[in-house]
Every structure is written in C-alpha cells, then in structure tokens.
Amino acid sequence: MTDTEIKIGQTMPYSGPISAYGAVGHAELAYFAKLNAEGGINGRKVTLISLDDGYNYARTLEQVRRLVEKEQVLLLFSVIGKSPNLAIRNYANAHGIPQLFAASGDGAWADPGHFPWTMGWMPSNRLKAKLLAEHILSTRPGARIGLLYANDDYAHDYVQGFKEGLGHKAATMIVGEQTVEQTDATLDTQIHALRASGADVLFSAMLGKRTSQALRKIAEIGWRPPHYVAVSSSVTRSVLEHAGLGNAAGLISAHYAKDIDFTKYREDPDVEAYAAWAKVYYDGDAYDGIASYGYQLAQTLEYVLRRCGDDLTRSNVMRIATNMKDVELPLLLPGVRLHTSPTDYRPITQLQMLRFDGKHWEPLGGIKTVEGR
C-alpha cells in the first residue's frame, strides 16, 4: 500500500482443466478497472495482480510466493479451488497475510481457531446439501432416495453434507448410489440402476455437462422423480437449455444470489447496473453466472478496503473482514446479507430454496439460515 495504490494479488486457472473459471478473475479485474476510473478507493488506485496457476496447486504456491515476496501485495484475494487454497493456507497464516474470500465451496475456510488469516465467501457445499436434505425430511419423510454424483472432491462434499442432513435416516432412506467417472460417455447405466432401485426422489451433484446429460436421459425414459440438484455451474441457463428447459422443470435447489442468466431479473435495477458495467468493462459472457460471482467478490473486497480508510495494515483488513454486519450486495437475493464475526468466518449462511418452473427459478418458502461449516 502507498498513498496512491493498493496492491492485491491472486492466482486464477486461466489455463488447465477448469480454465472456464478464469472468468472470475477477468470479472474482478474489470470491476476494479471501473472503480479506478471513478477515482479508486479512498483516493487510491486498486492494482489486482492476477497470475495463472493452471489449477496446479504447486504452481499456486509458487505464484503466491512471488506475489507476497516480490510484488509485496497487501492481501491474497479470491484464489480459485480447494487444492490451490489448501496449498497456500499454511503459508498465508504463517506470514500473517489475509487470504480473503477463497473461491471454493469447502468448509475449511471457516476455521479461525487454526487459520485466522483465511476466509471463504460462499456457503459451503456441505451446508447447501444439508438444507436440501432437510427439505426432503420435512416434505417427503418417506422418500426413497437415489444419489447420482461425480467421483470428485466437489461432489463428495455435497454428498457428505446431504447425508449429514438426513442424519440417522440416511441408512434407510438412501436406496441407491451411483457415481460418474470422467471417462463415462453416458449416464445411462447409472440412471437405469437408480430407477431399478426403487428410488422416488433423486439427488445429484455434477458439473454442467453431466447435469444436462442426466436430465435428458431421465426424461427420455419417462422417470420423473422430484430431483434435488447441487447449485453452481450445474444449473446455469446454458446447462438447462442443453437439457431442454421442459426436462428441467421441477428441479429443486438452493442459492443465495439472483439468477441473472434468466430473464426474470433482467429488469431488476441492480442487474441493469451489472449489465451496464459489463458492456463497458467486461469482455466475455456476463450472464454465465461465473462472471457475476467474481463481480460480487470484488464488491465485498471493495466494502472491506473502503472501511479500512487509511489504516491499510493486514491486521486491520482482517478486523474489518471479520466484523461485517448485515452487508447488502446488489446481486444477492433479497434478505440475504453478509455477516461475519471473529469467531464465525462464514459471510453467507442464508439460502433460498428454489424450484425451476421451466422458465425461471422461483422461491420455495422463505430464506433459510443453515448452521455448521
């Protein structure tokens, strides 16, 4: 930090197996470009140094050391993924460097007792899945549940949270469990097996393409159980359009932000402001859900840095970040607010149950607060 500049750093998977998520970094760079054009933060330009790590955790650590030791950034911001964030967590905490708003749905970023310099942003995958399980218990207590999920860390987090939400009833309510490997050309075998198991409710946790495949196959064989789906890139408009919007009707999920990639919110003033920003500053598809996530993370960091004033020390950054009270962001759903404390590092613990009606995601009950990590 100088009198004219605040320097922050991050790594992004601009190359490698999940390069699509580099859109998060591009959106954040574009957001700070807008802020700088308007005078920066408290008169200082924000310089975000965003380096490619290829989603390789060894490279993440190498790049982060460069950011801290050579570039001398004030903080680390929005690093993508579980493995990259785990790779740098010990380093950040040993050196007292804020590791803010880790872009991962793992509960590991809410452990201030052991890692006081590391904080996530979104609700953990386990909490989201736990809420879906609790909804089944309250609305379908006699359900026979089939699980369909990718054999990866992302999906295993969801499944663990889902089983925790069912509690001791998981053993009797879950009647079938099928995993999906990267090499599987289709999901036909898994879906037929789940139908044969007698499952009358389905829970799935897979990334985009796989969700489209599953929805098409389920419709093709005429099996239409109530279908609970993990949220994120698995339920964007493009994914559901590839499945056929009619085939996706009835999906149940939970989320915290406006579904800007659907027409329902296109006339929302805050979404219009987002679209106006994207038109000028963002070179990409602003409605893929990934860019809007980066936009919200950048707005949260803006909030923290503005409230630091001229006290831009690392300790004060963490003090502000861990004392957010009912902070509203434009793209959060009405009623969802950021709230943290020195003992609770989870900015978002509120979720809205949603049901897809074939055109839009509609509220299913009120905002729910979920406990745990």
Query: Which residue has tokens 């859900």?
Result: 289
The whole-chain average pLDDT of the chain stands at 93
Handedness of CA 120, 283, 29, 82 (dihedral sign): positive
Handedness of CA 139, 232, 79, 333 (dihedral sign): negative
Q: What is the DSSP string of 202-222?
A: EEEE--HHHHHHHHHHHHHTT
Q: Which amino acid is at 198?
A: G
pLDDT of 262: 67
Contacts of 259 (CB under 8 A, 6+ apart): 237, 265, 289, 360, 361
Q: What confidence tens digit (pLDDT) does each residue in 171-218 have?
A: 999 999 999 998 999 999 999 999 999 999 999 998 778 899 999 999
* CA-based nearest residue to 160, from 132, 120, 130: 130
Query: Which residue has tokens 């469990």?
Result: 177
Measured distance CA(21)–CA(80) in Å, rounded: 8
pLDDT of 153: 84
Angle, alpha carbons 262-132-194 (nearest 5°): 95
pLDDT of 22: 95
Handedness of CA 215, 216, 217, 223 (dihedral sign): positive
Query: What is the DSSP secondary structure assignment for residue 167, as one 8-state letter?
Result: G
Cα–Cα distances (Å) from 220 to 188, 211, 213, in that order, read 10, 14, 11
SS3 of residue 136 by DSSP = helix
Cα–Cα distances (Å) from 258 to 263, 335, 362, in that order, read 11, 12, 11
Q: For the chain, what is the radius of gyration of the CA atoms?
A: 21
CA neighbours within 13 Å on the CB side: how many for 124?
Answer: 25
Query: Which residue has tokens 């899945």?
Result: 129
Ranges assigned E (strand) in the chain: 5-12, 45-52, 75-77, 99-102, 118-120, 145-150, 174-180, 201-205, 227-229, 252-255, 350-356, 361-369
- Residues 129, 165: contact at Cβ < 8 Å? yes
Third-level CATH fold of 5-123+265-342: Rossmann fold (3.40.50)
* CA-based nearest residue to 123, from 363, 361, 353, 366: 353
Positions of the chain with pLDDT lower than 50, given as ranges: none
Decide whether 5-123+265-342 matches 125-255+353-369 in CATH topology.
Answer: yes
Measured distance CA(122)–CA(306) in Å, rounded: 21
- Report the predicted TM-score, pTM, of the whole model to 2 decimal places: 0.92
Measured distance CA(343)–CA(323) in Å, rounded: 10
Angle, alpha carbons 300-54-97 (nearest 5°): 45
Third-level CATH fold of 125-255+353-369: Rossmann fold (3.40.50)
pLDDT of 232: 59
Domain range annotation of the chain: 5-123+265-342, 125-255+353-369
Q: Which two tokens stand for residue 154?
A: 């992302």
pLDDT of 34: 98
Q: What confidence tens digit (pLDDT) does each residue in 260-284 have?
A: 876 778 789 999 999 999 999 999 9
Angle, alpha carbons 293-51-306 (nearest 5°): 55
Measured distance CA(245)–CA(239) in Å, rounded: 9
pLDDT of 265: 81
